[in-house]
Structure 1
Amino acid sequence: MKIRTPDDPDAKGGLPMNRFAVTALAGCLSVAATGAQAGADLIMASSLPQVHFWVGKHMDLFADAIEERSHGDIAFTRFYAGELTSVGRELDALQGGAIDVAAPLLAPYHEGAFPLSDVTQLPTVGTSSVTQTKAFLALMDSKTELVDGKTFYDYEIAAKGIHAWPVGTTAAYAISFANKTPKSAADLKGMPLRAGSALHTIFLSELGATPVTMPSSASYEALSRGTVEGTILSIGDWRSYSLQDVLTYTVTGVAVGHWGSYLAISDTGWTGLSADEQKLWADTAREIALRNAELIEAQDTEVREAAAAKGSTFADLSTIAPDLKAAIETASTATWRRWVEQTEAAGHPGLATARLWAKLVQDQGGKLPEGVAAYLEKGA
Structure 2
Amino acid sequence: MLVNNRTRKPGRLRRLLQASLLVTAVAGTALPAFAQTPLTLKFAHRFSSKHYLWTDAGAVFTEQVKQASNGRIAFELYPAGQLGKDYFSLLRSGLADIAIFIPSYESEKLPMSSVAELPGMYANACEGTRRYWKLARPAGVLGEGEFARQGLHVLFVAAMPPYTLMTTRKPITRLDEVQGLKLRSTGASMIKTAQALGGVPVQIPSSETYEALSRGTVDGAIFLHYGLPPYNLEDLTRYAVDGVNLGGGVIAFAISQQAWAKLPTDIQAVMTQAAQATQETFCQGLDEDDRKIREDMVKHRGHQVAQLTPAEISRWNDKLKQVIDAWLADMQAVGQDGKGVLKTFQGTNGQEI
The TM-score bracket by the shorter chain reads 0.7 to 0.9
Partner of 1:337: 325
Q: When the two structures are superposed, what TM-score results if normalisation uses the length of structure 2?
A: 0.81
Q: Secondary structure at the match of 2:159?
A: coil
The percent identity for this pair of structures is 25
Please tell me whether residue 310 in structure 1 is matched to residue 314 in structure 2.
Answer: no
Q: Residue 124 of structure 1: which of 103, 120, 139 is its match? A: 120
Give the superposition deviation at 1:166. 3.5
Distance in 1 between residues matched to 2:220 and 2:95, nearest whole Å: 36
Retained in 2: the 8 A contact 1:90–1:106? no
Map 1:170-189 → 2, pairs under 5 A: 170-189=160-179
Retained in 2: the 8 A contact 1:223–1:246? yes
Map 1:1-380 → 2, pairs under 5 A: 40-86=39-85, 89-102=86-99, 104-124=100-120, 127-141=123-137, 151-308=141-298, 309-318=300-309, 325-359=313-347, 362-364=350-352
The alpha-carbon distance between structure 1 residues 46 and 141, as it changes in their structure 2 partners (threshold 3 A), is closer
The alpha-carbon distance between structure 1 residues 38 and 91, as it changes in their structure 2 partners (threshold 3 A), is farther
* CA deviation map 1:327-368 (0-9, x unaligned): 422222222222112211222111111111122681218xxx
The alpha-carbon distance between structure 1 residues 263 and 312, as it changes in their structure 2 partners (threshold 3 A), is same
* CA deviation map 1:285-304 (0-9, x unaligned): 12211110001011101211
Partner of 1:369: none
Structure 2 residues not aligned, in runs of 5+: 1-6, 8-35
Distance in 2 between residues matched to 1:212 and 1:162, nearest whole Å: 33
* CA deviation map 1:191-214 (0-9, x unaligned): 221223211112111112122234
* CA deviation map 1:62-86 (0-9, x unaligned): 1111111111211112233444444
Give the superposition deviation at 1:240. 2.7
Give the superposition deviation at 1:114. 0.8
Retained in 1: the 8 A contact 2:107–2:114? no
The alpha-carbon distance between structure 1 residues 45 and 143, as it changes in their structure 2 partners (threshold 3 A), is closer
Q: When the two structures are superposed, what TM-score results if normalisation uses the length of structure 1?
A: 0.76
The alpha-carbon distance between structure 1 residues 280 and 202, as it changes in their structure 2 partners (threshold 3 A), is same
Distance in 1 between residues matched to 2:323 and 2:147, nearest whole Å: 24
Q: Select between 64-73 and 333-342 the one with higher mean Cα deviation.
A: 333-342
Retained in 1: the 8 A contact 2:182–2:200? yes
Tell me which amino acid in the other structure corresponds to 1:90. Y
Partner of 1:17: none
Q: Secondary structure at the match of 1:243?
A: coil
Partner of 2:17: none
Give the superposition deviation at 1:99. 2.5
Give the superposition deviation at 1:215. 3.8
